[in-house]
Amino acid sequence: MSGMRSQNAFLLCGAAAIVLTLADLRLHPEPSVAAAARYEEVKGWPSLPGMEMGEAAGVAVDANDHVMVFHRPGRGFDTAATELLKDPAVLEIDPQSGRLIRSWGANTFLVPHGITVDHENNVFLTDVALQQVFKFSHDGKLLFAVGEPRAGKWDATHFNQPTDIAIRADGSFYVSDGYVNSRVAIFDRRGTWLREWGKKGAGPGEFSNPHGLTFVTGNTDVIVADRENSRLQLFDRDGAFKREWIGEKDAATTGRVFSVATDAEGALYVGIRRADYDTAHTGVLKLDRNWQMVAAIGFGKPGDPVFNAVHDLAVGRDGSIYVAETRTKRVVKLRPAAAR
């Protein structure tokens, strides 16, 4: 692995950007690397008798370490849908037993997408067909909505298929926007637009479907999963570009970066997925604080879970990883092997 790092593990891009390619990291890591962090699938999790989960678009962990899932019961990614989903779209699940604690959001959403929980246990959601970002109380009471319902535009009061949310400690929040627009917008705690950055493209600070957001542990830097550009981009709190990490160079034939999450130790978790659902190029990478790979889960490795539709992920207090998949309509719990 040391020789591999010396071969372009870090490349300068302009004056400040650092690029790290997935080819340098290798999807099938050497045993010494793989042994640094090992995970196992918790079979039979979650346990939802009598309920059929729809496409699992978003997953988050709340202040109680409960797992929050935003799914699409009875619907796929149909942005032309006009009929609200009649079943509850938000599920709160016990992290240990996998049992349903509570569900809400019936007759409220069209095409669920992103979910994030703030430090006060409020739940933020995005809907790519309603073209809105929502803030709910933890038990499902609407606190506010941003964006004009079913109207896709690019300005201070509209979105066009928004994807994810990241919330600062002061209640202000970032929205990645999204499948049609190519920006990250910042709002105050009341949902008032403050500023934005980004445009369509592949250069520093440009996006091709900004699909996921998280913060660097311990500071206010923002990481964006720039999906179709197959990379992560790192920005300061105001949107100044600092660094990028390249997942794959050819998004048409290799894995795209769908999601990113961090844990309390500062590690990064990256959801990788191919356009054609190829399991050999789909899974979860764990990077340390220096963005060096310490685990690769899935990717067709014998004994690993088989993924083909990774869409979002979250990390629990005990280090368990929750992976939301759309096509397979499931959330997979990955437990650190040492936790057995």
pLDDT, tens only, 236-282: 999 999 999 987 655 444 679 999 999 999 999 999 998 888 898 89
The pLDDT of residue 248: 62
pLDDT band at 1 (very low <50, low <70, confident <90, very high): very low
The pLDDT of residue 277: 85
- Total domains in the chain come to 1
**CATH number for the domain including 175?**
2.120.10.30
C-alpha 340/C-alpha 331 separation (Å) is: 20
What does DSSP assign to residue 337? G
The pLDDT of residue 278: 87
Q: How many Cα atoms sit within 13 Å of 84 on the Cβ side?
A: 12
Q: Which domain holds residue 222?
A: 2-339
Query: How much is the mean pLDDT over the chain?
Result: 89
Is it the case that residue 3 has pLDDT exceeding 80? no
pLDDT, tens only, 29-52: 333 343 447 999 999 999 999 999
Is it the case that residue 11 has pLDDT exceeding 80? no
The pLDDT of residue 179: 97
What DSSP string runs through 134-183? EEE-TTS-EEEEES-TT-B--BTTBBSSEEEEEE-TTS-EEEEE-SSS-E
Residues β-bridged to residue 104: 90
The pLDDT of residue 124: 99
Task: Show Cβ contacts of residue 221 under 8 Å, excluding neighbours closer than 6 positions.
Answer: 215, 234, 235, 236, 237, 242
Window from 165-169, 172-176, 273-277, 299-303 with minimum mean pLDDT = 273-277
Q: Which residue has the tokens 């849908």?
A: 81
The pLDDT of residue 249: 56
C-alpha 183/C-alpha 60 separation (Å) is: 22
The pLDDT of residue 276: 83
pTM of the model: 0.90
pLDDT, tens only, 284-297: 999 999 998 899 99
In which order are the strands placed within the sheet that holds 283-287?
256-262, 268-273, 283-287, 293-298
